[in-house]
């Protein structure tokens, strides 16, 4: 069947980004965990803060045989659980709930999408949404193609001729399993939606500290001149979890740490830290600079893979005083599974700014602490003064960007201790959002949902970036899958990872930070 013509959106200007127009948000997979835990609670908080447009509606679409009344009751329970019994405001919820609607349907059935189009027309008229639609795919990736195809078949992706309304599609990770599947999905989307209408969401980019990386660099003249190979020795990016795979063991058996964390979260942080300043601060300019980083990243030499990439899997151990079973002991994993729950990677960027500066990325489950941080480690001073010995200057200056928990920044440097002799003492200047701004920062989903409604794609991944990211890590994944690990498990739960990861960075005369 012929698919209707796509309609590209104009990039949002600074003024347009501040304006919100009425819209209807269609959540596919509306009965799922992500909708309950993140999407609907975030939208409710935005309404409580007066940040949603006055005219909006939410339409849930799922295979479950619910109706609107059941959907409203289920979402009320989800929001109450998110807010806590004392923080849940019944009157505010009642106003919000009137804007919730539901339709049951199958993702591959054209007739059900015609029913959805009819419901949207009614809802749009009832709530004065102006026929502006957001299609949020909170579904398993296996049905992304079905949903996108049916939206095109029934014409929901385009606006009527000569009309002002807009249409946008939001796609959750994982965006493909490798380069080939990501390219195929990009092509399927491009057959229906223009790139300007497409929002590939990564919740890490909605975190306040991540958004502040560019402000920190580019709005403070004391930092940007140091952000290069002349002053930076290396960069470490860590995303560790103290929890194991928990209820996600089945997913992890298919995915693993490299697919789950590197292709999206860690490479996004890597791109933001390493990118050159954009010409202007908008989605196209920022996206172009992030793509340049991945284009300049040196491919991993597979003949020396163990010197550039390390994998690990946790065994039994103790995490924060509690005994934890090993990954292979989970009932949803194979007893002899060689799926990695930890990965570390060394990357080099072959450009003028970063030539010779290694970037070390690591992520793992069941580790000593839950923390996500970026550490910019500066070079040592060129000459030791004050009669210092090499042992006195083991820790050079560093800027640490804390993504979670306790979002903020710290600058680590050295001062003289009080006394008659010169003794050097390390100190830190710390900033955290909660203390300074007297309250909790908005959740990542609140930020990203608001940006989608504004038409601001700055914090969303471009199709080209997605393909470069997969192109970087797919050869590693394929090499690991074709050569099963023989030493798993190779790190204890509650540790900082396998000894092979320590050896990876030690070869360069460096060591991992212990946050």
Q: Which of 431, 378, 405 is nearest to 216 (CA)?
A: 431
Distance in angstroms (rounded) separating the CA atoms of residues 332 and 163: 51
Distance in angstroms (rounded) separating the CA atoms of residues 388 and 104: 72
Tell me the Ramachandran region of residue 102: left when phi exceeds 0, alpha when psi lies from -120 to 50, beta otherwise: beta
Q: Which one from 101, 127, 157, 265 is the annotated catalytic residue?
A: 265
Question: What would the DSSP string read from start to end of 150-192?
Answer: HHHHTTTTSPPTT----EEEEEPSP--SSHHHHHHHHHHHHTT
DSSP state of 308: T
Contacts of 344 (CB under 8 A, 6+ apart): 309, 310, 312, 360, 361, 362, 497, 501, 504, 505
Give the containing element (helix H, strand E) for 374. strand 371-378
Contacts of 417 (CB under 8 A, 6+ apart): 423, 424, 425
Is 98 within 8 Å of 127 (Cβ atoms)?
Answer: no
Distance in angstroms (rounded) separating the CA atoms of residues 194 and 402: 35
Count how many Cα atoms sit within 13 Å of the Cα of residue 401 in the half-sphere of its side chain.
23
Is 362 within 8 Å of 394 (Cβ atoms)?
Answer: no
How many CB atoms lie under 10 A from the CB of residue 144? 21
Distance in angstroms (rounded) separating the CA atoms of residues 76 and 262: 35
Distance in angstroms (rounded) separating the CA atoms of residues 25 and 421: 67
267: three-class secondary structure by DSSP? helix
**Dihedral in degrees, nearest 10, Cα atoms 30, 31, 36, 38:** -40
| Dihedrals phi, psi of 186, to nearest 5 degrees | -60, -40
265 is catalytic: yes
Q: Are strands 398-404 and 408-416 parallel, antiparallel or unpaired?
A: antiparallel
Active site (catalytic) residues: 265
């Amino acid at each position: 069947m012929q698919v209707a013509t796509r309609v590209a959106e104009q990039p949002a200007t600074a003024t347009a980004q501040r304006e919100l127009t009425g819209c209807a948000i269609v959540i596919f997979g509306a009965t799922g965990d992500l909708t309950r835990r993140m999407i609907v609670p975030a939208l409710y908080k935005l309404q409580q803060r007066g940040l949603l447009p006055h005219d909006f509606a939410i339409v849930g679409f799922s295979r479950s045989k619910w109706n609107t009344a059941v959907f409203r009751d289920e979402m009320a329970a989800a929001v109450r659980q998110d807010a806590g019994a004392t923080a849940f405001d019944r009157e505010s919820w009642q106003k919000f709930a009137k804007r919730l609607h539901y339709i049951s349907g199958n993702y591959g059935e054209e007739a059900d999408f015609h029913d959805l189009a009819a419901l949207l027309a009614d809802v749009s008229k009832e709530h004065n949404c102006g026929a502006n639609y957001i299609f949020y795919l909170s579904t398993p990736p296996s049905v992304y193609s079905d949903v996108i195809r049916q939206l095109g078949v029934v014409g929901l992706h385009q606006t009527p001729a000569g009309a002002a309304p807009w249409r946008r599609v939001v796609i959750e990770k994982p965006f493909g399993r490798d380069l080939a599947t990501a390219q195929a999905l990009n092509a399927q989307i491009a057959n229906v939606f223009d790139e300007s209408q497409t929002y590939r969401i990564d919740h890490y980019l909605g975190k306040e500290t991540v958004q502040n990386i560019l402000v920190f660099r580019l709005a403070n003249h004391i930092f940007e001149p140091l952000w290069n190979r002349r002053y930076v020795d290396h960069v470490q990016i860590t995303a560790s979890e103290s929890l194991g795979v928990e209820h996600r063991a089945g997913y992890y058996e298919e995915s693993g740490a490299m697919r789950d964390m590197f292709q999206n979260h860690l490479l996004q942080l890597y791109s933001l830290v390493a990118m050159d300043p954009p010409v202007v601060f908008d989605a196209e300019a920022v996206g172009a600079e992030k793509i340049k980083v991945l284009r300049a990243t040196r491919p991993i030499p597979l003949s020396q893979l163990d010197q550039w990439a390390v994998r690990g899997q946790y065994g039994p151990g103790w995490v924060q005083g509690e005994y934890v079973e090993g990954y292979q002991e989970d009932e949803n994993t194979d007893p002899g599974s060689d799926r990695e729950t930890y990965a570390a990677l060394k990357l080099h960027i072959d450009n003028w700014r970063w030539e010779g500066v290694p970037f070390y990325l690591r992520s793992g489950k069941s580790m000593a602490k839950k923390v996500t941080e970026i550490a910019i480690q500066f070079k040592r001073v060129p000459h030791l003064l004050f009669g210092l010995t090499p042992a006195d200057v083991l820790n050079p200056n560093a800027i640490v960007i804390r993504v979670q928990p306790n979002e903020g920044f710290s600058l680590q440097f050295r001062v003289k201790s009080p006394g008659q002799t010169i003794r050097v003492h390390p100190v830190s200047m710390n900033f955290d959002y909660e203390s300074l701004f007297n309250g909790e920062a908005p959740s990542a989903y609140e930020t990203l949902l608001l940006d989608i409604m504004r038409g601001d794609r700055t914090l969303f991944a471009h199709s080209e970036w997605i393909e470069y990211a997969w192109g970087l890590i797919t050869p590693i994944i394929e090499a690991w899958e074709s050569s099963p690990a023989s030493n798993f498990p190779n790190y204890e739960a509650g540790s900082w990872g396998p000894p092979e990861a320590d050896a990876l960075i030690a070869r360069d005369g460096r060591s991992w930070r212990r946050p």
